[in-house]
């Protein structure tokens, strides 16, 4: 699945003009792209490259989690915090007995749901 159809075009936007909404959208796009690339690398037997991409995804999800305002964000922020924490745990479990592609597929589905919801609120922002 390519995210370019729903991505925000920032090629002609300066850093000062990027909204917090756009930043989160770009982070979600980036996480999904890294997950897809990690799956491709695993399918090609490039384990080390896939591991780097998984670590980058963990970093992006951490950034998404840090961006939450759990003090004022109510139930939505709390639920997203728990979801992002779960995603981080799942990604970190890849090195154990978990099947990497199974975990990455699960993470992709979860992030896609968040991304779809985020894109869905664009008209409200």
Q: What is the pLDDT of residue 111?
A: 98
Domains detected in the chain? 19-124 (1.20.120.340)
**pLDDT-based confidence at residue 2 (cuts at 50, 70, 90):** very low
CA nearest to 57, candidates 15, 21, 98, 100 = 100
Please write the tens of the pLDDT for every residue from 16-60: 788 989 999 999 999 999 999 999 999 999 999 999 999 999 999
Closest to 29 (Cα-Cα) out of 62, 6, 58, 12: 6
Angle formed at CA 58 by CA 61 and CA 7, multiple of 5 degrees: 50
* Contact (CB, 8 A) for 53 and 41: yes
pTM given for the model: 0.84
Question: What average pLDDT does the structure give for the chain?
Answer: 88
Residue 69, number of CB atoms within 10 A of its CB = 9
Q: Confidence class of residue 95 from pLDDT cuts 50, 70 and 90?
A: confident
Tokens 């998404």 locate to 64
């Amino acid at each position: 699945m390519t995210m370019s159809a729903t991505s925000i075009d920032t090629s002609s936007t300066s850093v000062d003009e990027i909204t917090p909404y756009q930043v989160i959208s770009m982070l979600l796009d980036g996480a999904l792209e890294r997950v897809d690339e990690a799956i491709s690398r695993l399918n090609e037997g490039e384990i080390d490259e896939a591991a780097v991409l998984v670590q980058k995804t963990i970093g992006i999800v951490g950034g998404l989690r840090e961006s939450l305002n759990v003090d004022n964000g109510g139930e939505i922020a709390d639920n997203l915090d728990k979801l992002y924490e779960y995603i981080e745990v799942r990604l970190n479990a890849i090195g154990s007995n978990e099947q990497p592609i199974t975990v990455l597929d699960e993470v992709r589905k979860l992030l896609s749901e968040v991304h779809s919801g985020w894109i869905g609120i664009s008209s409200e922002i």
